[in-house]
Chain A
Amino acid sequence: QVQLVESGGGVVQPGGSLRLSCAASGFTFSSYGMHWVRQAPGKGLEWVAYIQFDGTNQYYADSVKGRFTISRDNSKNTLYVQMNSLRAEDTAVYYCARHRGSKLYLDYWGQGALVTVSS
């Protein structure tokens, strides 16, 4: 069965950096695009970034463009997001999700990793 497991969350100071990982199993990771979606405490979902199946292209929400970098290692079945210049408003649970190509939606979600930006 499809499994997505995020790791790397924690507390970081404003201006700091953090890298989240998402380990994928139960499907051919290299055949699927992947997303990061976040949810601030008590708030709704916010799409963060998308990477194509082969890592060729990446896309970002305006709120994180220039600060976050999505990447993947298909040999390790792992998705990443490098988060730099973190702000208090980046505090959220970060979910990785699988992209269903032809239908353009997110079909499987991980359990999420909490990132807290605070001094």
Chain B
Amino acid sequence: GENVEQHPSTLSVQEGDSAVIKCTYSDSASNYFPWYKQELGKGPQLIIDIRSNVGEKKDQRIAVTLNKTAKHFSLHITETQPEDSAVYFCAASIAGNQFYFGTGTSLTVIP
């Protein structure tokens, strides 16, 4: 089955700086890549997603890039704010049959 690896496991940045989280996947059939933000005591919330026919997608301060050849995708958060502090998960899916999650990145934004 699919294997998703996520790095780093923890990340601290100063407020206003950028944060980058990287994921790799193993199955070239994966075609949908969502990113989730999980705050303490809550369920993961979708923040952005990308499909395999697109190389990059942006939504305000958040962007995701996908390199299908190298089988990796990244989350970029610019102008970080304290409320961005949370655990972020990447995921890969083959036609929505099942979603495979990375092991999470705990992001801390230092005011």
- A and B associate: no
Binding site for A on B (CB under 8 A): none
Binding site for B on A (CB under 8 A): none
